[in-house]
Every structure is written in C-alpha cells, then in structure tokens.
Chain A
Amino acid sequence: MTLRILYFARLLERFGQHEETLDFAGSTAADLIAQLRARGGVWAEELAAGRAFRVAVNQNLVAFDAALTENAEVAIFPPVTGG
C-alpha cells in the first residue's frame, strides 16, 4: 500500500525531510517503524526501541499495533511537551 509519511520536530531535523510517499508492505504502525528503522543511520537511531516518539494515523494518535490502510497519512513526532 502507499502511505504518506510526515515527520515533525527533532525527527524532521534528523531525517532532513518533512514528508515522503512510501510503498509499504506491512500492516501495522509497528511494521512501518521497523521498515524505516531498517534504513539504518539516523533512522535506526531515532526510531530505536526505547526512543520516545508517537504515531498518528489520519491525524489521530494510535498505538503501535494500529493497522494502516491504503493512502493513510502517518505522522511520526516526538512527544509534545509544555509548561
């Protein structure tokens, strides 16, 4: 399936891109993270297990086991902080 992936904040800076269109063969958000992590380098580093980041699908926060669907807009970003 085809996905539109958006990166924000630190991830945007580290990956050097705000968005990309990706051909995705898996089914869940966790599969997508694994596919991106497999690129190595900053991708493996920033998306490593234990690093804090969130995933939103079609502008709703989801758990990593959420299923992705054709043409979904998937955003990956660090947790939002304030105060």
Chain B
Amino acid sequence: MPTIRIQTEAFDSGAEMAAISRNRTDIGAVASFVGLARDMNHGDDVRAMVLEHYPGMTEKVLAGLVDEARSRWALLDVTLIHRVGACCRATPSCWWRWPALTVAKLSPPANSSWII
C-alpha cells in the first residue's frame, strides 16, 4: 500500500528509505527523490520558505502522482511525503538541509524498489 503523508514536521529521509525495505526480502533496490529548500531563487536570497497548500486538492494531486508512477513502473511500494508550512529557517546549522519533499518508495520490475 502506498503511503502518502502531508506534514509540517521535518523528517529523516534516510530513516524513510530504511523503513521501506525493513522486514522485506523481495525488494532489490530503493530509489529516492529528496527535494531540499535552497537559499536562493532566481537570484534572490531566500531566508525562509513556507509551503502553502490546499487541503483536499493536495492529497488528490499527490495520489494522482503515485497512481501515475505505479502505472509506469511495477513498484512494490511507494512512500510520498510532502512538507507544508515553514520548511526552512535561518539558523546556520540547519539552513537548507531540511527535506521539503520526499516522494516514494517504489519497486520496479524484477526486484528493485524506489523512494521518490
């Protein structure tokens, strides 16, 4: 079953990747896509980023992305996590390293699996 989460909290993408294949021996690979908030945008300095969302439509769009991925590849599983709210703050130690978007743990044909 795909997992889709929309959350304000930061998350550990490494832990998510580990969790996807825990207690499973049928997954041969895990792929991931992790989006990070940056400190610039078209030449402007960015000190903070807030992701606003449209509850209801966000869930629908993310579910559509998972459906599309599953129709394109034979995925064993998918985890899609999208942060909303304040995704970065201007503290030097952790500025732009908070994942804003992780997508899925999927599993293509024979025996690989993905985290997008």
Which residues of chain A have a CB within 8 Å of any CB of chain B?
6, 8-9, 12, 56, 59-60, 75, 77, 82
Contact = CB atoms under 8 A, between A and B. Distances in A.
Nearest to A6: B54
Nearest to B60: A59
A77 to B, nearest CB: 7
Contacts, number: 18
Interface residues of chain B: helix, strand, loop or mixed (majority): mixed
B52 A59 contact: no
Contacts of B60: 59-60
A6 B57 CA distance: 12
Interface of B: 35, 52, 54, 56-57, 60, 101
A8 B50 CA distance: 13
A8 B35 contact: no
B35 A59 contact: no
A6 B54 CA distance: 9
A77 B54 CA distance: 10
Contacts of A60: 57, 60
B35 A56 contact: no
B56 A8 contact: no
A81 to B, nearest CB: 9
